[in-house]
């Protein structure tokens, strides 16, 4: 879902950068307040793992492919949507600057879609779904699916504002592809939470609504 430079006019891209910078500032405030020595390895490993897994594009129908975004995972495990903004911003900067994956002028939009929308939708849907299922894994799966699907729809709206995609066709095609890619997001989110919970139950955030098992 990495938007390349050519897809958004520079003035609009600048507006997205300003919005993104506000959220980056808030994510740094989160880090300043919540970061403790025992959380550092988890943040570092999550960022590295999310970068690596984003390099694996899994084929879906319609000659298309998709990869995990990781924002829901970061938000759930670290217990704040701002943690997702923190982690995804680092990942997107390295991807854009070093590998030309995602444009630089439009990086603000990519941070909003994947970090902010992904993180907030993932975190709050997980929180809402946990009591419903009384089990973290189906909640994590659906939260992961929703985080990617909603981010894709927001991206389609940005494309419509940019004049790049017509709104309806953009929403239809982005929705169609990402409804399938969301299954990858949800699946890996649930599995990763299981693995982290097994290895280090103590460092996972508890305020995020984790149901103790």
Partner 1 sequence: MNTKTFLFAGLAVALVIAAMAPFIASSNPDGLESAFFGIFGAKEIQGSEINEEHAEVAEEDVTAITGNDFSFESPFPDYTIEGLAKFGEAAAIIIGTILVLGIAFGLSRIMARPE
Using CB under 8 A as the binding rule, the residues of this chain from 150 to 169 that contact partner 1 are 152, 155-156, 162-166, 169
What are the DSSP calls for 146-207, one per residue? Answer: HHHHHHHHHHHHHHHHHTSS-HHHHHHHHHHHHHHHHHHHHHHHHHHHHHHHHH-GGGS-ST
Number of residues that bind partner 1 (CB under 8 A): 79
| Among the listed residues 20, 24, 154, 174, the single contact to partner 1 using CB under 8 A | 174
Which residues, numbered 27-46, are part of the site for partner 1 (CB under 8 A)? 28, 31-32, 35-46
| Among the listed residues 21, 48, 132, 167, the single contact to partner 1 using CB under 8 A | 48
Nearer Cβ to partner 1 (128/163): 163
Is residue 75 within the footprint of partner 1 (CB under 8 A)? no
Which residues, numbered 112-131, are part of the site for partner 1 (CB under 8 A)? none
Is residue 104 within the footprint of partner 1 (CB under 8 A)? yes
Is residue 58 within the footprint of partner 1 (CB under 8 A)? yes
Residue 134 DSSP code: T
Contacts of residue 122, defined as CB under 8 A and 6 or more positions apart, other chains included, come to 71, 72, 73, 75, 76, 81, 84, 143, 144, 146, 147, 189
Binding part of the chain for partner 1, among 4-12, 128-136, 137-145, 204-212 by CB under 8 A, reads 4-12
Is residue 90 within the footprint of partner 1 (CB under 8 A)? yes
Residue 135 DSSP code: S
Minimum distance of partner 1 from residue 5's CB (angstroms):
5
| Among the listed residues 128, 167, 194, 200, the single contact to partner 1 using CB under 8 A | 200
Alpha carbon 131 to chain centroid, angstroms: 23
- Residue among 95, 49, 54 nearest 181 (CA): 54
CA distance 140 to 82: 17
């Amino acid at each position: 879902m990495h938007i390349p430079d050519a897809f958004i006019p520079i003035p609009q891209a600048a507006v997205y950068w300003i919005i993104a910078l506000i959220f980056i500032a808030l994510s740094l405030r989160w880090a300043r307040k919540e970061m403790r020595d025992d959380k550092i390895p988890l943040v570092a490993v999550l960022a590295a793992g999310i970068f690596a897994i984003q390099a694996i594009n899994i084929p879906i129908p319609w000659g298309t492919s998709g990869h995990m975004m990781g924002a829901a995972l970061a938000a759930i495990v670290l217990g704040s949507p701002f943690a997702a903004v923190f982690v995804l911003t680092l990942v997107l900067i390295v991807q854009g600057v070093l590998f030309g994956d995602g444009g630089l002028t439009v990086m603000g939009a990519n941070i909003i879609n994947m970090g902010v929308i992904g993180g907030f939708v993932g975190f709050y849907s997980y929180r809402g779904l946990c009591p419903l299922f009384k089990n973290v894994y189906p909640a994590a799966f659906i939260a992961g699916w929703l985080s990617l699907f909603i981010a894709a729809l927001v991206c389609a709206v940005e494309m419509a504002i940019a004049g790049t995609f017509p709104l309806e066709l953009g929403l239809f095609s982005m929705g169609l592809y990402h409804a399938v890619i969301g299954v990858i997001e949800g699946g890996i989110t649930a599995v990763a939470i299981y693995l982290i919970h097994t290895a280090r139950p103590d460092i996972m955030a508890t305020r995020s609504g984790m149901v103790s098992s």
